A and B are shown apart, each in its own frame.
Chain A
Amino acid sequence: MRNPIATVFVIDDDAAIRKSLARLLQSAHFDVRSFASPWEFLEQHNPATPGCILLDVSMPELNGLDLQQSLAKQGCDRPIIFLTGHGDIPMSVQAMKAGASDFLTKPVEDHLLLAAIQVAVEKDRQSRAARAEVQAIESRLATLTPREREVLEQVVSGKLNKQIASDLGTVEKTIKVHRGRVMEKMEVNSLADLVRVAALAGVSPGRPPSPR
């Protein structure tokens, strides 16, 4: 079997549906993990596994929407596709507003389901990639010395080297050196990239210089 594209986590209390959905998704080369209840899923779920959730909305014990909120609280933003036997509009609107990836009604056609899963998986991949990038940036940021950090902040606020030198009480040459080292450590080639990367890392630009 080829490497699976991603994992789909199927949560539905109806065993026959779990089985049939698993079969269908496996035939589309997804890796499937099935759970009979949200509790089970939360217990065994590994956030590092890429993939999305396929969730039956109307299960007792825990509303699907409540699960969505629980996951969000845990900091997990895995995309959720809702599957429902009811198909009433208010519930779907509520789910979508809360950030569901899609809302499908049973019985579900394979092409619709697979398309939604593709979208969700892609979303997941993108968000993972984004998170990974931010993490990388942050790790690079951590290698900066405090001085370099300061210089970075001033540079991304758009100040000229001359200004930064006078603000920080040093000469332009020193600033240029710091700047070069920052660019190097942050692995960027242009100011625009630096600004972008800094923004991604949440660096707030233009703090007034600390008095020495």
Chain B
Amino acid sequence: MAASERINRSRLVLNVVLVGILCYASNEIGFAHKIPPHNISVLWPMSAILFSALLVSSPRHWWAYVLAGYSSSIIRDAQAGFPAQAFLFIGAGLLEIVGAALVIRRYLSPIKMFDSLRELALYLAIAVIGAPMVSAFVSAFAGGTANYWFFWRVWYLSEALACLMLAPAILSWITLARHKSGTIPMARRVEGTVLVTILAGVCFFAFTGNVQTGHGIPALVYLPLPFLLWAAVRFGPLGVNTALLIVACLSISGAVHARGPFVYSDETKGVLSLQLFLATLSLPLMLLAAVIQESRARAQVLRESEARFRSMADTSPVMIWMSGPDQKSEYFNKRWLDFTGRTLEQELGEGWIEGVHPDDRPRCLRIYHESLDARKPFEMEYRLRHKDGHYRWVFGCGVPRFMPDGSFVGYIGSCLDIAERKDAELQLQEQRAEVTHLSRVAVVGELSGAVAHELNQPLTAILSNAQAAQRRLAQEPIDLDEIRDILTDIVNEDKRAGEIIRRLRALLKKGEMQLQPLSLNELANDTVMLAHGDFVSRGIVVSTKLAADLPVVRGDRVQLQQVLLNLISNACDAMRDNAPSERRLEIATHSNGSGTVEVAVTDEGPGIAPEARDRLFEPFVTTKKEGLGLGLTICRTIVKAHGGRLWSDNNPVRGAAFYVSLPTLVRDPI
């Protein structure tokens, strides 16, 4: 790091030396431009130069700059024998320059001071009004009590003007030099040069022409004004500060050489009027330049913000749109246009509606306009035509936009292509229904052999009854009562067959839950009847122990029957390897006092192994060769949907039991 330190150090030394030289030179110029006979200076350049140097350098080095800056003054004073005035002036000067520099550093940024109205005003308050005023109180003592206020005025005005007209120019140019980004185009340089040249010429003409001295200020004085405005508008604070400096130099120079409109018989009046002229010229123009600069900066920020928004909107994976307060669309991002394959012009206004699916259009328009009328956010799903001609589901939402003052400026919203999500949702729904159905079918499939057997019973009875009747009718005598009995039996058996078919169909039907009051006793009996064939073919002996006066529950008959069938089927499977006399299955119901009703399906199988306990209700886990492993999972889902519980336990002696508890139907109090 030694190398860069050395570079910095040498640069510092250079700067300090430069400041010293400049101050020396400005002192010479300043002295040369004092207006006789009182030798009042219109503005004191050295203050401005040192002040600028302090503002743009680090306070650590200020001692060096101050020394360099005052070195020539001190030398000069030393040559004059250090009059008392000298100390006062130096002291006041230091107070003003260092004090102002400190305060400004604290509250403002020297680089951007002139670009904002507020900061410019602060600068003016501190450096042009405040600091010189305070130091004037000190230095005025040089005039003694008699001329205190005269000296005060002289000091104040010359210091103030230096900070008003010279320091800003210096600071602006230093800022430009330090923070220049990119090269300035040639056209601009040319324009600047032309402006400066013309302005100089005009000033020269206005301030150094041999005009009659007299009263009032001739109109020529206003000549520089348009060029100052030109500088302010086109070049901002930098331009205006430079232009004002040129005006100051030339007008002061003219006045010193007793030319121009500011020459009076009473030269103090002349100086005063020149100072006032310069002040009244600078202040508004600098403020104007600051205002212009601010509005330009704001416009720039706005442009950048717009550009940022556009690039963000166009690269977004989501479709974005905007509409104005009149509810007509005014912007669609690139992705929207890519999606629909249309141009912006086609979609603007109300064109976007054409892309919405005709079936969704009324609903979409209704939601859109209702929300926009109420200025509320909205969400909707609809189908939008893709450029390939097909409609895809999208999820659109919009929010209202308000200005900081609360005025409504329109809506902004986005659309997301959810075609895949919708497909997945649909598929999931279908799959779920399919799985439930499959599980039912699987259960039924296991019973199908038994069901066929079940159906055969009434069919056999019908056939034999009918054929018996046929024979009887061919024999004498015909016993009509017997025939009637036969027909009655046939009808009953047919109904019995129909009932079995109906139950089977209900079991296979995919559908929503249909809640109705149910008696679990009745359900248990029905289920036992339905599974009768299965019991028979597997040699299972079923007994039921149904509690009397069992409270009614509310449930879907088909689904609860499915649960019961599944539990029964499992119990039968569990006893597959049992001896024929040990295949007892019991279905019991009883009511718990606490508003629930319980059904228990008990078997005499091997029971549930401890390691299988936890996985009993897991999907796709099965011990059966051709099982799906979904039965108990679905059963539990169904029971839970009814607000009940399904659990299992091993019996004390042997086998397992599955318990279903369901809440009883609570009658609405009238």
Contacts and interface: CB of A to CB of B under 8 A. Distances in A.
Q: Closest 4 A-B residue pairs measured CB to CB?
A: A110-B467, A27-B471, A20-B464, A85-B456
B461 A19 contact: yes
Interface stretch (A56-64, A125-133, A144-152): A56-64
A211 to B, nearest CB: 57
B388 to A, nearest CB: 57
Interface residues of B, number: 33
A14 B539 CA distance: 16
A21 B541 contact: no
Contacts of B535: 60
Given A27-B471, A60-B536, A86 B464 contact: no
A20 B471 contact: no
Contacts of A24: 464-465, 467-468, 471
A199 interface: no
Contacts of B459: 106-107
B540 interface: yes
B58 interface: no
A26 interface: yes
Interface string A84-100: 01100000000000000
Interface residues of A, number: 24
A61 B482 CA distance: 33
Given A20-B468, A27-B468, A58 B456 contact: no
A28 interface: yes
B493 interface: yes
Interface in B39-56: none
A110 B458 CA distance: 16
Interface string B409-445: 0000000000000000000000000000000000000
B645 interface: no
A22 to B, nearest CB: 9
Contacts of B467: 24, 109-110
B449 A86 contact: yes
A17 B463 CA distance: 10
B475 A19 contact: no
Interface string B448-470: 01001100111111111101111
Given A16-B458, A20-B461, A24-B465, A85 B489 contact: no
B232 to A, nearest CB: 109
Interface string B520-542: 00000000000001011101110
A107 B468 contact: no
B295 interface: no
B492 interface: yes
B153 interface: no
A17 B452 CA distance: 16
Best-surrounded residue of B457, B459, B469, B470 (most CB of chain A within 10 A) = B457
A142 interface: no
A58 B541 CA distance: 13
Interface string A11-40: 000101101110110111000000000000
Interface string A69-80: 000000000000
A16 B475 contact: no
A108 interface: yes
Contacts of A106: 456-457, 459-460
B486 interface: yes
Contacts of B533: 85
A108 B468 CA distance: 12
Given A16-B492, A59-B536, A61-B541, A23 B468 contact: yes
B453 A17 contact: no
Nearest to B490: A20
Nearest to A106: B460
B489 A107 contact: no
Nearest to A15: B461
B472 interface: yes
B541 A108 contact: no
Interface of A: 14, 16-17, 19-21, 23-24, 26-28, 58-61, 63, 85-86, 106-110, 113
Given A16-B496, A109-B467, 4 more contacts: A16-B489, A20-B464, A24-B465, A60-B540
A97 to B, nearest CB: 21
A24 B463 CA distance: 9
B543 to A, nearest CB: 11
Contact of B537 (A14, A26, A58, A61): A58
Nearest to A58: B536
B326 to A, nearest CB: 79
A201 to B, nearest CB: 41
Contacts of B469: 23
Contact of B493 (A16, A23, A109, A110): A16
Contact of B460 (A17, A23, A28, A58): A17
Contacts of B486: 23
21 contacts: A14-B461, A16-B489, A17-B460, A20-B461, A20-B462, A20-B464, A24-B471, A26-B468, A27-B468, A27-B472, A60-B539, A61-B541, A63-B539, A85-B457, A85-B533, A86-B449, A107-B460, A108-B463, A110-B467, A110-B468, A113-B464
Contact of B465 (A23, A59, A61): A23
Nearest to B535: A60
A108 B460 contact: yes
A195 B535 CA distance: 55
B428 to A, nearest CB: 40
A107 B539 CA distance: 22
Contacts of B463: 20, 107-110
Interface string B376-397: 0000000000000000000000
Contacts of B475: 27
Given A24-B465, A26-B468, A27-B468, A86 B537 contact: yes
Contacts of B456: 85, 106-107
Given A24-B467, A27-B475, A16 B539 contact: no
A66 B486 CA distance: 33
Interface in B540-556: 540-541
Contacts of A23: 464-465, 468-469, 482, 486
Contacts of B537: 58, 86
B490 to A, nearest CB: 8
A37 to B, nearest CB: 12
B583 to A, nearest CB: 9
B350 to A, nearest CB: 71
Contacts of B457: 14, 16-17, 85, 106
